[in-house]
Amino acid sequence: MANDRKSNARAAQTGADVNADVNSPGYQERVFEIVRRIPAGRVMTYGQLAGILGEGYTPRTVGFVMHAANDTVPWQRVINSQGACSTGRVVLPPDLQQRLLEAEGVVFDARGRCDLSRYRWTPEEYAGDEADDDSTQPSLFGD
């Protein structure tokens, strides 16, 4: 009972669906299926993926799933809504994601951000949707 309350409180804070099982193979595979389609030299954001996948998916849960990706998933092609890499505290070396993307032709500025208007990829079947419009999210970097 106490664990349920803690889980519900945590979900309310993060916006996660309490019933979403981010560890289930089906939940993860829905994320990986789209990520495997991202062409080299292009990126998607965690929020963009969550918007496409719909109810039960949040940018945070997509990030959690991406952390569990194996070598068949081009995990480096999923970045934050500011156009920056968010794996510095999770992946060693800390700049691995950016280096992998740069090797694919993605250019980052001095602040470690790529131009999402140039590099963001949207699956054709969602190209007209608003699901990929997370540009209104406030910056975590205070600018």
Q: Of 1, 4, 70, 3, which is closest to residue 31 (Cα–Cα)?
A: 70
Instruction: Tell me the pLDDT of the chain (143 aa) as tens digits.
Output: 444 433 333 343 444 444 568 778 799 999 999 999 999 999 999 999 999 999 999 999 999 999 889 989 999 999 999 999 988 777 678 899 999 999 999 999 999 999 999 999 999 998 876 544 554 444 444 54
Position 33: which residue type?
A: E
In a domain, 1, yes or no: no
Residue 103 belongs to domain spanning: 21-122
In a domain, 66, yes or no: yes
126 CB neighbour count, 10 Å cutoff: 14
- Tell me the pLDDT tens digit for each residue of 110-124: 999 999 999 999 999
Look at the chain and report how many structural domains it folds into: 1
In a domain, 2, yes or no: no
What are the Cα distances from residue 95, in Å, to 45, 50, 66? 18, 24, 16
DSSP per-residue string spanning the chain: -HHHHHHHHHHHHHT--TT--TTSHHHHHHHHHHHTTSPTT-BEEHHHHHHHH-TT--HHHHHHHHHT--TTS-GGGEE-TTSB---TTTSSSTTHHHHHHHHTT--B-TTSBB-HHHHB---GGGTTSSTT--TTSPPTT--
In a domain, 140, yes or no: no
**pTM of the full structure:** 0.76
In a domain, 134, yes or no: no
In a domain, 67, yes or no: yes
pLDDT for the residue numbered 93: 87
Q: CA geometry: angle at 124 spanning 123 and 129, to 5°?
A: 85
In a domain, 104, yes or no: yes
The CATH number given to whatever domain includes residue 49 is 1.10.10.10
In a domain, 34, yes or no: yes
